[in-house]
Amino acid sequence: MAIPSSPKLDGFDVLQTNFKHVGDHPIRADILVPQKPHTGKRPVILRFHGGGLVFGDSLFMNFWPHWASDLALAHNAIIISPNYRLMPEGTSAQIYEDIEDFWSWLHSPSLVELLAAHSTPTEVDLDRILTAGESAGGLLSVYLALSHPTDIRAATVAYPSVDLGPDEFGHPRASPCFGNHIPESVIQAEESAAKIGTAESSITDESRLVYMLAIVEHGTLHGVYERGAEGVPQKVLYPMVKLEEPGLDIPVGGIAVIHGRQDSVVPIGGVERFVERAREVTRGKAGNEGVVLTVRDGEHGFDADVRYSEEWLSDTFKFAVDAWVK
């Protein structure tokens, strides 16, 4: 994808590279390096894009939260935002495989060499990692934070789909997403056209966005998510299951969540249950104080143009950010 022109990218040099290949299909990571000079290693934000795991691209700017750019510039941090295989061509199992491969690439010489060769050579501080993500990207942010809690300082997530189970995503909705009904025939048409078994990691066609909203409205997203995931531990697929793992740890900066009260895509109930349970199982442990949820009036995606200077947002993320840049 060509680098878009967006005020959300102002102040950054954008580097693009492929962190893995699936056959001859490259999967891209976008690296935003602040143009402001910096001495020493830069902290890093790992940002995962949303799109229901079936749509989107790292640089699809409609989903990119402006506050993430503000936060990075305020701390001279590098943002690294990867793509990953999308369903239904791929499977959820392959998505988590991509996320782990991205994590390995992050710690490989490839990234070091790429940043050293930049017009203004720079280094990334992998001891100061913050994860971020919206919607399905929030799910991936939480997954990585719970999988590598001692290597990640904190997680910041927006309306994360932390419960893609049958209760919330396996039954038709009483009300459609954003109040716009989409015929069920859209699902069959899109899935018939999809080349199941191939690798697709960047789809921004409007028809695929409509498909995403359709599978949420008609309750088939759960089935798509489970397809091909046989043998994958439930604790990988479902953060609520991961929370029950004996000896669970979380990042020292916790998990900070924001959510829109009127969200019609990701029901707030599942997020509230996740946050409540995370607080319970981490009581007395590092990071517990940073497990927070702030609910604001707004629909799904309400934070896309929110600036980090807004007091409610910076207050919500303060514990996480302090732990990150410490």
**Gap between the Cα atoms of 159 and 162, Å rounded:** 9
Residue 25 predicted with pLDDT over 90? yes
pLDDT average, residue stretch 240-254: 97
- The pLDDT assigned to 1 comes to 79
**Helix, strand, coil abundance in the chain, percent, nearest 5:** 35, 20, 45
For the chain, the average pLDDT equals 97
Collapsed DSSP state (helix, strand, coil) of residue 226: helix
CATH number of 7-325: 3.40.50.1820
pLDDT average, residue stretch 108-112: 96
3-state secondary structure 179-197: HCCCCCHHHHHHHHHCCCC
Q: How far is CA 113 from CA 109, 122, 228, in A?
A: 6, 10, 36
Instruction: Judge residue 193's burial from the number of C-beta atoms within 10 Å of its C-beta, 0-12 exposed, 13-18 middle, 19 or more buried.
Output: exposed
Taken as a whole, the chain contains a residue count of 326
Report yes or no: 3 and 66 within 8 Å, Cβ to Cβ. no
How much is the pTM?
0.97
The packing angle between helices 311-325 and 66-74, to 10°, is: 50
Collapsed DSSP state (helix, strand, coil) of residue 285: coil
pLDDT average, residue stretch 228-245: 96
- The pLDDT assigned to 2 comes to 87
pLDDT average, residue stretch 241-267: 97
- The pLDDT assigned to 52 comes to 98
- The pLDDT assigned to 184 comes to 97
pLDDT in tens, 281-323: 999 999 999 999 999 999 999 999 999 999 999 999 999 999 9
pLDDT in tens, 133-189: 999 999 999 999 999 999 999 999 999 999 999 999 999 999 999 999 999 999 999
Instruction: Enter the tokens of residue 253.
Output: 């900066």
pLDDT in tens, 58-72: 999 999 999 999 999
Continuous segment of H or E residues that includes residue 16: strand 12-22
Going across the sheet that includes 25-34, the strands are 12-22, 25-34, 78-82, 42-48, 124-134, 154-158, 255-260, 292-296
For residues 18-34, one letter each, b for 16 or more C-beta atoms within 10 angstroms of the residue's C-beta and e for the rest, the string is ebbebeeeebbbbbbbb
For residues 100-113, one letter each, b for 16 or more C-beta atoms within 10 angstroms of the residue's C-beta and e for the rest, the string is ebbbebbeeeebee
